[in-house]
Amino acid sequence: MIDIKKVLAEVCQNGYADRDAIWAALTPTEQHQFKELLAPSPLAREFACRIRETIGYQSSAVAGAVETDLERAIDRGELAAADLVEVVGDRHFLDFQELVARCPKYFS
C-alpha cells in the first residue's frame, strides 16, 4: 500500500502521467477504492489520537506506555512510523518524542 502511493506520486510528479487524467478515467467505485487504499490505517488514526491526548496530559509516564505499545505494533508489522507521522504531524510527533525522552527508564 505504501509502495503504491510512492510509485504513483513519483510517476505523476516526474510528468510520466497526468494525475487528473488518470483520476477522471476511474469509475466512482474505483475512485472510492483508491481513496480507501491510500487512507491512513485505523491503527495509525488510533495512535495519532493517543499521541495527541498524551501531549495534552504532559505525562512522560503515559508517553512511555504509549511508546511501548507503538513499538510493539511496529515490530509486529501492523504499522509504519512514517504512516503515523503522516496522520499526527511532525510537530505533534516531535512533542511526543520529547515526552518519551523524559520518561524514567523503568517505564520503557
pLDDT digits (tens, 9 = 90+) for 24-80: 888 999 888 888 877 888 999 999 999 999 999 999 999 999 999 999 999 999 998
Residues 14 and 62 in one domain: no
Give me the pLDDT at residue 104, please: 74
How many residues in total does the chain contain? 108
Q: Which residue range is the domain that position 26 belongs to? A: 2-38
Q: What is the pTM of this model?
A: 0.68
3-class DSSP state for residue 47?
helix
Q: Report the domain count for the chain.
A: 2
Helix (H) or strand (E) holding 53: helix 42-57
Give me the pLDDT at residue 17, please: 78
3-class DSSP state for residue 76?
coil
Residues 20 and 47 in one domain: no
Residues 65 and 87 in one domain: yes
